[in-house]
Chains A and B, each alone.
Chain A
């Protein structure tokens, strides 16, 4: 029963995702995969920027850490067959382990970046994450083992719509479960008033770092999944522009709203795809749109509200808490 509840979103998700995968023509599938990856990125960044009220602008750096780790492992184990498993199952298992390894490494990076910068109050995190994003890019460009500026090619095509969908479900479940728990409320307290949170016994430094590490790990998951879809992992994928794209999604959706992040990640991904023909004006249009939206709706589309909360008000469940 307990176990079922834990995996319910995934159990429901698999057949649906599989169905979508079967009927999607390739050009739609590409967009859907991008949507899924961006949902992973936006929702995970929201844990830091929305829930905890910190300002991280280097999410792509952690994506890179995850993408390179995952790709290095799958490239090395490409021809390995795990004993006792069918070739298909063996590949899937290796991919899963590689993704988890990527998450562990990007999470560790999150710890290293977060520990010094989250101890201090103020906007250090923004500066440090921005710096980290650039440093990791330059670092990778200069390491031959990681393919230098051209990156790693021939990455095996393991990522499917089902994989990305499950990654998105995992990320959303993580964020929802966190925020509805006492640990997530401690994060919200930090966002609302750090001094009061401390006074109420919240170890604000520890909680900020923990949120940052979890968020970084899921950015790594996004990176790993993306790399095994475009079959190429290069430093150019993980620039500051990618980070800002994700920040834009979080801000547009509403800081602290998971459903807002999901919807704005979807909208902006489709929009960016539609603007592809405009080439160099693409990012300008994107920025312009964000500015206009921020001027007309500064709290983002959803503020801190969630769709499911609004829905449960109109369709109250038996168990639902009565809102006064």
Chain B
């Protein structure tokens, strides 16, 4: 019995489809993610990877299909509700609160679990001060985990690129999610930075007991870190399985690796 409960999926997508006018960006997408899994999602440009994230996090409502978090339907909910239910994300084209400090970026994410009321802030109740202190300490912890303590009071826009990406992860973690969705977190980094980041992602998964869905363009990188891979092409899941299986799948070689060959 115990083992059955344990393998209850964290996230489940059933026949999820997203249509933009005449374009089917994602069609009949299915996904089951077990607790603590680290699943990689790959595919060529425009394959529909970010669209999948946008549907999971409520930015788009799927044209059809269902998405469940811990067995509860979340499709059609607003993004903030989905965040409260336990899904956090980063953005492919970094969306930090640019004019705010690194600390404030993370503190805003801590607001999700804040119990203080707005009038308490206006009346300076002791509960308000206690909550502010708790939030600040909490945020500092997450900055520390991502190695950003020295940037605490720097404006987000002034951070180097790689640190901005890490700050996005810190911010997402601060919402205390069950599922973390990372959209190309290593984009724009050099190879050694990328490798370090992948190790960090794995460590975060273990330390915070998370389930992670990771989009990454670099095939080798994602194969090294994920237990399971999902390959999208033109909105269709063309392959799914362990990195070994996917690597040998002729359809993947044709759609994805073939592309890389062609580029070279």
Which residues in A have some Cβ–Cβ distance to B below 8 Å?
2, 5-6, 173-174, 177-178, 180-186, 188-189, 192-193, 195-204, 210, 304, 321-324
Contacts and interface: CB of A to CB of B under 8 A. Distances in A.
Interface centre among B58, B88, B124 (most CB of A within 10 A): B124
A181 B100 CA distance: 14
B118 A195 contact: no
A309 B99 CA distance: 16
A199 B85 CA distance: 11
Contact of B99 (A6, A182, A185, A192): A192
B148 to A, nearest CB: 12
A112 to B, nearest CB: 20
Interface centre among B89, B99, B171 (most CB of A within 10 A): B99
B112 A177 contact: no
A323 B123 CA distance: 27
Nearest to A189: B108
A193 B150 contact: no
Interface of B: 57-59, 78-80, 83-84, 88-89, 91, 95-100, 104, 107-112, 114, 116, 118, 121-126, 128, 131-132, 135, 150, 152-154, 171-172, 175
A174 B122 CA distance: 6
B108 A202 contact: yes
Given A177-B122, A199-B79, A192 B97 contact: yes
A2 B126 CA distance: 7
Contacts of A199: 57, 59, 79-80, 83, 88-89, 91, 95
A195 B59 CA distance: 8
Contact of A188 (B58, B97, B172): B97
Contacts of A203: 78, 80
A196 B95 contact: yes
Contacts of B97: 188-189, 192-193, 196-197
A182 B121 contact: yes
User: Which 4 pairs between the two chains have the least Cβ-Cβ distance?
Assistant: A181-B121, A201-B112, A192-B97, A201-B83
Contacts of B89: 199
Contact of B108 (A2, A178, A186): A186
Nearest to B109: A200
Contact of B152 (A2, A6, A173, A324): A324
Contacts of B58: 198
A201 B111 contact: yes
Contacts of A184: 121
25 contacts: A173-B122, A181-B132, A182-B121, A182-B131, A183-B116, A185-B107, A185-B108, A186-B108, A189-B108, A195-B79, A195-B95, A196-B96, A198-B58, A198-B83, A199-B59, A199-B83, A200-B83, A200-B109, A200-B111, A201-B84, A201-B109, A201-B175, A202-B80, A202-B111, A324-B154
